[in-house]
Amino acid sequence: MAILLVFEFPVFEDEDEDENEDDRRNIMKRKMLGLIHTSATLVPVFAALCKAKLPNVDVFNIVDDSLVKSIREAGSLTATIARRVAGYLASAELAGADYILVTCSSIGAAVEAGAKLTGVPVLRVDQPMADKAVATGKKIGVIATLSTTLEPTADLIQRRAAVAGKKIELASKLVEGAFDALMAGDGVTHDAKVAAALKELSRQVDVIVLAQASMARVVDSLSAGDKRVPILASPGLAVDYLATVL
């Protein structure tokens, strides 16, 4: 298990006292965003997005890569795992977060439950993506390399469609073997399997949702002809949403 807590604050050069005082006031006015991850690989992804899209927001990261492993071993999200997620939300709030983003779809249900106990707004990373998919088309494809992520994402889309008052059709696709290949360091096999699944699914739906951010890189490798429909990834859409509320 690896748990990482990283704070990122602006660094100011030593200048005269008045300018330093202005800098201190500016820091006090800045919002703080807490990011909770289940993979350290997502830290630089969101760091780049936040730097580009949230330049006036300070960011810190909490990482525990044992959460997804625990879900896979248990076969589903358990009460114990949900309590751990709630604990991380509480830690982020105590660390000063004005807003919390949880970047893992597999723990979405626990995020929603824990949010009710948290005194600051909490966003699960795939909600803006689900809303975008519902607004884009009736036939929505959901693709994942883990069943524990596929089911929560599909459920979220159904519920967001109900909120929007729209009837949709879902086509879910699990890319067998891709996740294990990625964990074994075989990114080539992972990417090839995901690319093939995306090409197949694009012939059946109006829009495709990537249930895991780790698949987003594959989209860039597809030719224009293979991108028959919009393919949505959660990281950019989530940070775009945060830019409207922070």
In this prediction, residue 4 has a pLDDT band, given cuts at 50, 70 and 90, of low
Residue ending a domain, among 103, 124, 145, is 124
Q: Supply the range of the domain harboring residue 150.
A: 127-234
Mean pLDDT of the chain: 88
Summarised one tens digit per residue, pLDDT across range 34-55 is 999 998 888 999 999 999 999 9
pLDDT greater than 60 at residue 9: no
99 within domain boundaries: yes
The pLDDT value recorded for residue 183 is: 79
80 within domain boundaries: yes
Give the whole-angstrom CA distance, residue 173 versus residue 201: 8
In this prediction, residue 136 has a pLDDT band, given cuts at 50, 70 and 90, of very high
241 within domain boundaries: no
The pLDDT value recorded for residue 23 is: 56
**Stretch 167-191: mean pLDDT, rounded?**
91
**Stretch 120-138: mean pLDDT, rounded?**
96
In this structure, are 99 and 81 located in the same domain? yes
Beta strands across the sheet bearing 3-8 = 3-8, 57-64, 31-37, 99-102, 122-124
132 within domain boundaries: yes
In this structure, are 148 and 88 located in the same domain? no
246 within domain boundaries: no
Q: Is 191 exposed, middle or buried (0-12, 13-18, 19+ CB in 10 A)?
A: middle
More confidently predicted of 93 and 16: 93
